[in-house]
Structure 1
Amino acid sequence: MTGSPLFDIAGRIALITGSSRGIGRALAQGLLEAGCTVVLNGRDEVALARTRAELAELAGGTVFARAFDVTDSAAVATNVAAIEAEVGPIDILVNNAGMQRRAPLVDFTDDDWRRLIDTNLTSAFVMGREVARRMVPRGHGKIINICSVQSETVRPGIAPYSATKGGLKLLTKGMCADLGPSGIQVNGLGPGYFETELTEALVADEEFSAWVRGRTPAGRWGRVSDLIGALIFLSAPASDFVNGQVLYVDGGMLSVL
């Protein structure tokens, strides 16, 4: 049985930011297994090289790695140009780079606020702008911003993080408004609570973990593999008339009280 051409992304070139580990690594692997040529990104050259080697062996296909800071406009411009010259035109951009800081609002520092804004929100603006400048003349492209259930809701200790993810939701809609007429779809993918290297402490906290399971109709934490189907949909021709939306993959968390 052959797959539907609506979901065929073989041969597309995909750039995934923050993809040396965690959700970004899983998204890169999913696109690689779907037949994309994948370009990994991160700031740690050693971690990036290790992930590139692991994915090349595990998933096959063609995978590149490019280390640069996605919050630095000059570095972004230089490296996007280099990727397009060396690998080819970027068809799919996944803005995944992100970070978390947890603290009561009254204790949150200015520096941590700025780091969250730069990493979670400014990076998507800078990367999206630079890649879109090249997609617009070509008349097609997919930009997928990794949002969060915290794009819609919040809990104590993460107000600044939620502000960045709420901003990313509206940036996604604004990018749709500007880029949609050029044939570019810009959507968000919103994970719920997922088991990753970055959430190990939360998963291990039985009280918190029980809260997640009880709050989620699916009754469990998400697995990174749960995101791949939604990612392929948003990357494929199947979503050519889907624009400015956030697709939540949260086990139903946002649907219930």
Structure 2
Amino acid sequence: MACLSGKVALVTGASRGIGRAVALSLAREGAAVAVNYRERAADADEVVAAIRTAGGKAMAVAADVSDSAAVVNMIAAVERELGLIDVLVNNAGLAIMTGIDDLTEEEFDRTIAVNLKSAFLCTRAVLPGMRTRKWGRIVNISSGAARGAGGIGPHYNASKAGMEGLTRGYAARVVKDGVTVNAVAPSLIETDMVRGGLASSPDRIPLGRFGTSEECAQAVLMVIGNAYMTGQTVALSGGLSFL
């Protein structure tokens, strides 16, 4: 695992689910953590309180990460309170479940903005500092839907496939600057999205159960800790990809 003592990490969409688990795991490895949220202030504050209770350093920072001005303001706030950002985890996401005949242009655009454009905006904001310091770690939270049909819709598929392309594109261009860019692609993790109707049971997963947010966080720490891995997507599917 990564030793992140003295490092600053930003996790987008970190008030619950996978983002929350990632934020807590980064703090346990020694990082000061900025917990981004859009609406769930109380949940974000709870994550920050848990980190501080354990002796770590953290802050909650509100921002719609699909908005460029909001991202600039968020980064400035984190740098004022915690310092320059060394680790970025692009986790914020939107999953609008709808049939292909009911999918609207607004829903498509909003999904691309929140799931894909946000990763571009946040990456663009932190990269200059990482390249100057010759060290940085960027992890994008993708999905098995980037390569499979998934259960949400083609808008979601497109956003996550785009995120993996973004991962490879940045990785190839910043590797010589000491910055690695990787993706972690979970499938059917026991989060609110799955419990809310995406999958009623884990019967079709060979392992026989849903994944956990903590297992996703383990994969994030793994790629952060491996300085030789870049441009890769780590799949977490409980064997679902075998089918």
Could you say which TM-score interval applies, normalised by the shorter chain? over 0.9
Report if aligned partners of 2:18, 2:217 keep a CA contact under 8 Å in 1.
no
Structure 2 residue matching 1:100: 3-state secondary structure: coil
What residue identity is the alignment partner of 1:42? Y
| 1:1-257 correspondence to structure 2 within 5 Å | 7-44=2-39, 45-57=41-53, 59-155=54-150, 157-202=152-197, 208-210=199-201, 212-214=202-204, 216-236=205-225, 239-254=226-241, 256-257=242-243
Cα drift, residue 156 of structure 1: 5.4
Report if aligned partners of 1:105, 1:157 keep a CA contact under 8 Å in 2.
no
Q: Share of identical aligned residues, percent?
A: 36
Report if aligned partners of 1:213, 1:221 keep a CA contact under 8 Å in 2.
no
Gaps of 5+ in 1: 1-5
Report if aligned partners of 2:2, 2:29 keep a CA contact under 8 Å in 1.
no
Name the CA distance, whole Å, in 2 between partners of 1:148 and 1:73.
Answer: 24
What residue identity is the alignment partner of 1:133? P
Cα drift, residue 11 of structure 1: 2.7
Cα drift, residue 87 of structure 1: 1.0
Cα drift, residue 157 of structure 1: 4.8
Report if aligned partners of 2:10, 2:89 keep a CA contact under 8 Å in 1.
yes
Structure 1 residue matching 2:84: 3-state secondary structure: coil
Cα distance change on mapping 1:55 and 1:202 into 2, 3 Å: farther
Cα drift, residue 16 of structure 1: 0.2
Runs of at least 4 residues off by over 6 Å: none
Gaps of 5+ in 2: none
Cα drift, residue 83 of structure 1: 1.6
Name the CA distance, whole Å, in 2 between partners of 1:118 and 1:84.
Answer: 24
Structure 1 residue matching 2:94: 3-state secondary structure: coil
Aligned alpha-carbon RMSD (Å)? 1.7
Normalized per residue, which structure has more helix?
A: 1
TM-score normalized by the length of structure 2: 0.93
- Stretch deviating more after TM superposition (130-139 or 93-102): 130-139
Cα distance change on mapping 1:128 and 1:152 into 2, 3 Å: same
Cα drift, residue 10 of structure 1: 2.6
TM-score normalized by the length of structure 1: 0.88
Name the CA distance, whole Å, in 2 between partners of 1:195 and 1:173.
Answer: 27
User: CA deviation digits over 1:32-83, x for unaligned, max 9?
Assistant: 12221111001123432233224433x4311111111111112212221232
